[in-house]
Structures are given as C-alpha cells and as structure tokens.
A and B are shown apart, each in its own frame.
Chain A
Amino acid sequence: MCGAETRYRKGLPLTDLIDRPRRLRVGRTLGDRVFRGMARGFGVLVLLVMGGIGVFLAIEAVPAFREWGWGFFTTEEWNPENGVLGIAAVLFGTGVIALVAMVLAFPLALGTALYISEYAAPRAKRWLIAMIDLMASVPSVIYGLVGAYLLQPEMVFVSRWIHDMFGWIPIFAVDTDPDAAVFAQSRYTASPIIAAIVVAVMVLPYACMVMREVFDQAPQGEREAAYALGSTRWGMIRSVVLPFGRGGIVGGTMLALGRALGETIAVVLILAPLFEIKVEILENGGITVPTLIATRYGESTGLQLSGLLAAGLVLFVVTLITNSIAAVIVTRSRSGASTEI
C-alpha cells in the first residue's frame, strides 16, 4: 500500500502510516453549552407548538370523519339542520378556483419573470424585483375590495361576452339568455371566474419570484454561446433559460397553487356561497374551503365545528402535498444547501 514510505521509515509499523482522521474532541465552554441548550429549547418549543397544532387539528376532526365516514367526501350538501355535512362541492370549488387562477397566473408570472431577468434594463431590474415583493405583501383584503368594486362590474360584460361566444363549451355556460334585451346581470356577478382572477393576481408574485430567481442563475456562458450561434433573444431564452429554469417554473407554479388553495378574504368578498359541484365558472355562486370556514364558524357547535376543522385539515393536507412537491422540484434544480467561499 505505501511501499515507498516504508522504505524510508523502516522503524515504524505499517499501520501508523495510514492516514486516519484525527479524533477531534470539542471541549464545549459553559457558554456554548448554554447556547446550544437554549437554541435546542427554542427548536423543541416550536416543534411542540407546531406539531401540537397539527395533532390538535387531526384529533378534533376525528368526530366528523367518524360520523360521516367516506360520505363526508362525497356529499355536496352542507346542511347542519338535517345533520348532513359533506365537502364534495367545497373541495371541488376550491380546486376549480385555484386551477382557473393558476391558468391565468402562470403565463403572466412566466412572462413577468422573463421580462425582469432577460428584457429589463439592469437599472430597472432592482425596482421591478421590489415591485413583485410589494405585490406579494399587499394585504388580501385590498385585492378583495378592488376585485369586488372595480373588477366585478366590468367582468359582468366580459363574462356575458364569453358566454355569448363560447357558451357551447360546458365551463362557459350560464343558465340565462345572453342576447336578451335586458340581460340578467346578476347571473354573471359573484362568479368563480371573478374570484379566480383576483386570486391569480394575489398568487402571481409568489410564482414570479421563484421563476425569476432560477432564470437569473442560467449560465452566462451558454447564453453567450446561443447568441454567438446567431440566436435571437427568444431563441436564446427557449434554448438556454427555459430548459435551465424548468424546475423553478414548475416549483414556483406549485407554490403559488398552494397559496391559491388557502386564499380566504378576497374570495369571501366576491363569491356568493352555493353548495353545488359546478364547472360553470362564469355563473354566479360557488364555495371554497376557506370561505366555508369563514362564513359558517360562528353558527357552528360540536359536530359541525368538527366538520369545519375536518374540511380545513383536508385543505391543509392538499396544500402540504402541493408545497412538498414544489419544494422537491425547486431544490433539485439548485445545487448545494449552503454557500461556501
């Protein structure tokens, strides 16, 4: 193994020449022990609080699951007077609004992220990034107010227009005559599409932030190579930036989807509650899990409250799965957990 060395150091046994990691014994000072203990204490405290909340939710939701079993997931009604509770319509509505919101938000987020990382002047870039951050921290009640008072009256006409043109597609159908002399405006208000547009604007910055960060990391050399081969700017984006940022695009979108699922106030302000599985996104009425909780918690007691918690728990689990997939995809597209100099 180390023949060359043994020739020069004949006196030593062979084993001493093999490199072994030196045992490091860290003698921790008292201060360090206190520090580590306290930090661990904080960690354990947070773990207990957060884990406790999760366990509490799960335990409190058990009575509802026990009472209605699988029927809880397949019943559309939320009718505590008759003792019938189910979240089929609620879950479906949550999914529809979140999906429509993502369909609207995805191209805009992608376009904005590309604009900030590829098109904007370097000086404007800082401001644009700040703008996206600001957009993410504007309170949801403000988006809700703007959606309900500014967007809604305008959207009535657009909805009617879409209904008129594409009403034969089931999701754009509305149960009224769009060509009537005085068309039924109220059929087009408080609809899932209006709520979805507002939710789209709210979650868009979250997707955009992640995408922009990943696009910025696309290797400069490859960009220049693409240009040197005669590529146009879009050609460069398509062949370098987008393939490099694929993880960020998917991950950011999933992250935004997670936010879209849990959005409450803006949706409550716009959507008229209606417990029905419906795909007609232009038509008045719909329901999501957060709006269900926000509107029904006050009158609820006992089993119904447990039902609300169960609905919240289901939403939490769905969001959790979405976020975890997003996290895995985003971290895979980056390298290394910590930065080294």
Chain B
Amino acid sequence: MTATLAPQRTDEPAPPEEVRRDLRGRTLDDRVAPLGAALGALALVSLLYDRLLPLSGVLGFVICWYVAFVALYALLSWYRHPSPAVTDRVAGVLIRTSALLVGSALATAIVYVFVRGAPALAHLNLFTQDLTAGPQDPLDIGGVLHGIVGTLIQIGIAISITLPLGIGCAVYMTEVGGRLSKIVRTIVEAMTALPSIVCGLFVYIALLLTFDIQRNGFAAALAISVMMLPIIARSAEVVLRVVPGGLREASLALGASQWQTVRKVVLPTARPALVTAMVLGIARGIGETSPVLITAGYTTFMNANPFEGPMVSLPLFAYTLARSPEPLFQTRAFGAAAVLMVLVLLVFLIARLAASGRRNRR
C-alpha cells in the first residue's frame, strides 16, 4: 500500500536563477578603451609631431599616430587585464587595422581614378570619338572610343583562342590523363610563371620582327593569349579536378561513355566555377598592359582592323597618356583608366553572378 506523497516544501531559499554567461558581449571597457587610446594618441602625436619634433607630412603623421595608438591601447589594457588578454587585444587591433588598410587601399585606388577622370568622363564625346585632338584641345573634343574598340577586339580574339584551347587542355589533363598529361601539366604550370612583358617580347620577336610586320592588334591579341592560356588552362584544371570522382564513377557505372560523362556530368557540375575562373582570367587579360605595350603600337586614330596598323587598347592608352607632361592628357588618361575600371568591374560582376548561381543550386 503506497501512497504518492507530494514532496515536502522546505523553506530553503530558491537557488538563484541561472544566468547565461555572455561570451560574445563587450564590456564598456572593451568599447571605450580603443576610443580613449585613439584620442590620446591623436593628442600626443599632434603635440609632438609638428611642434616638438622636426617632422612633417600627412602620411608620417598618420604612421606615428597609429604606433602611438597601439602603444597606448596596450598600456591601457595592461592596467586592468592579464597579459594574455593584452596580447589578444593588441593582436586584434593589428589584424583589424591591416584588413582596414587593405580595404581602404583598394577603395582609394578605385575612387581616385574616378575622381581624377571625372572631368573627362563628364563629356559624352569620351565614348564617341577617337583622340584626334591635340594636347591643348579641351576635353569636349576627342575620346577613347578607339581604345574601347581596340580592347574589345583584342580580348575577343584572345578569348576565342584561349578559351577552347585552355578548357580542352584542362579536360585532357583531368579526364583523359596518362603519362603525357603529366608533362602537359608541368609545362602549363611552368608557363604561368612567364612574366607578361616576356610574352609581349616573344610575339614581338617571333612574329613582328621575323616576318617584318608592322605592329598590329592581332599581334597584341596573340601576346595576350600567350599570357592568358596557361592561366586559363590551369584554373580550369583546378576547377575540373574538384568535381567529385564519385559522380564520374556513378555515371560510368550507369553505362555512360566517357564523352557522355564529361559532357553531361563533369562540365555541368563544374560550370559555375568554370565560368568564374574563366571570367577572372579574362579580367586579367583585359587589364594587362605590358604584352600590349610591345606588340600593339600606339595610335590616336580609330582602327577596327586587327590585322593592319597599330591598334591601341584602353590600358595602353591610359599608360601612354599618363607619361605625357600635359595635364589635359593626364586627365584623359585617368578617364580611360576609369572606363577600363568599369569594364573590369562589369566582367567581375558577371563572375560573381555565375558564382552565386552555384550557391543557389546547392
């Protein structure tokens, strides 16, 4: 005979309610200490830098301020924290600021080009005319149309050469294999080390000098191709190699031939990553100046025929005008650089979209 008894209440005080310890939160000290250190460093350096020490220049000031800031912050933390925490804080500051510095370097480069190029970009004729204007002509005469056309033609030829070759070679290296493919891979990897200027010099000697041809757009496209081909082949191979082997085996086990496996399984699986890799390779090709510098020749006139006469591209145009002492030419150079930057950004955006397509599919 048992009866269920309710547990007897005791008058012990209830245990204190458990509070989750906040692992992520930042204390007031965490928040205010860097601010205080920054302000203190600013005050200290502005007192010492110009007035007491014989120093000058904005960049030098910033460097000194930063060093003082880190030192003050370490000192401030050292008052209240043990040494591992001080190291952690200082390391955190160094890492964050280095990322900040890198980000602002990129932002500065892009923004500066657009700011300096703005006077040229403001005139629509930049996009509709070639540069028949002299150095003294105002910015509403003359433009970079011939550069844009040249860039598009050259990169078009380079793409039509390197893309099939590069992807075909990558398919050979990953899917067919064999002893020869190892040699191909070694050579391709070695050629990615070829400095881009040497690509230009190669085409200059092997094509232009040997056959005594004037510099032209096709030679420039070939030089770009020589530079791009190993990059494209190698990045395509890397992308194809990460296609899971199990997928290939599954396809073969279902009776598909190797060609069917490559066409229906391997390439579709790798497509988004492949597109990204290709587009990034193309972006490199568009922006590269040095192979074009030697092979394309400089002209101020529109030339849409890649096989005859010099054909300028945007980077070469920007480079050539930037070396001129004329301020108006320099502004035009920045205008061309800004157009080039837009082109690269567009290409880059396409690459990103292709990459995000991969993410959605998963």
Contact = CB atoms under 8 A, between A and B. Distances in A.
A36 B176 contact: yes
Nearest to B98: A111
B53 to A, nearest CB: 9
Contacts of B79: none
Contacts of B173: 43
Interface in A257-278: 258, 261-262, 264-265, 268-269
For the complex of A and B, list the 4 residue pairs with the smallest distance between their C-beta atoms, beginning with the closest.
A139-B287, A157-B57, A111-B98, A42-B168
A171 to B, nearest CB: 18
Interface of A: 28-29, 31-32, 34-36, 38-47, 49-51, 53-54, 56-57, 60, 107-112, 114-116, 118-120, 128, 130-131, 133-146, 148-150, 154-158, 160-161, 164, 179, 201, 204, 208, 232-235, 237, 258, 261-262, 264-265, 268-269, 289-290, 293-294, 297, 305, 308-309, 312-313, 315-316, 319-320, 322-324, 327, 337-341
B57 A158 contact: yes
B106 A315 contact: no
B229 A42 contact: no
9 contacts: A39-B175, A43-B184, A47-B184, A108-B101, A142-B341, A161-B55, A161-B60, A265-B319, A341-B247
A200 B231 CA distance: 21
A297 B294 contact: yes
B362 to A, nearest CB: 13
B102 interface: yes
A139 B286 contact: yes
A50 B230 contact: yes
Given A232-B85, A234-B88, A339-B245, A131 B197 contact: no
Contact of A145 (B92, B283, B334): B334
A44 B233 CA distance: 13
A40 B176 contact: yes
A138 B341 contact: yes
A214 B201 CA distance: 36
A133 B315 contact: no
Contacts of B99: 111-112, 115-116, 119-120, 128
B194 A53 contact: yes
Which label, helix, strand, loop or mixed, suits the secondary structure of the A interface? helix
Contacts of B165: 42, 45-46, 49
Contact of A138 (B109, B191, B259): B109
Contact of B176 (A39, A120, A208): A39
Nearest to B115: A150
Nearest to A291: B197
Interface string B289-309: 110011000000000000000
Contact of A327 (B189, B241, B347): B189
Contact of A201 (B105, B183, B184, B287): B105
Interface in B189-230: 189-198, 201-202, 204-206, 209, 226, 229-230
A145 B317 CA distance: 12
B323 interface: yes
Contact of B337 (A114, A142, A161, A305): A142
A327 B234 CA distance: 13
B201 A308 contact: yes
A53 B184 contact: no
B188 A46 contact: yes
B204 A297 contact: yes
Given A116-B99, A234-B88, A142 B195 contact: no
B197 A312 contact: yes
A155 B289 CA distance: 25
Given A46-B229, A157-B56, A140 B288 contact: yes
A78 to B, nearest CB: 15
Given A138-B110, A308-B201, A338-B242, 7 more contacts: A44-B184, A53-B226, A140-B288, A142-B318, A201-B109, A234-B92, A323-B192
A196 to B, nearest CB: 14
Contact of B340 (A46, A131, A139, A235): A139
Contacts of B60: 157-158, 161
Contacts of A338: 241-242, 244-245
Nearest to B318: A141
B95 interface: yes
Given A133-B280, A139-B289, A201-B105, A262 B195 contact: yes
A137 B348 contact: yes
Given A31-B259, A261-B195, A43 B172 contact: yes
B352 interface: yes
Given A146-B113, A161-B56, A112 B98 contact: yes
Contacts of B103: 131
Contacts of A324: 189-190
A119 B337 contact: no
Contact of B202 (A53, A154, A341): A53
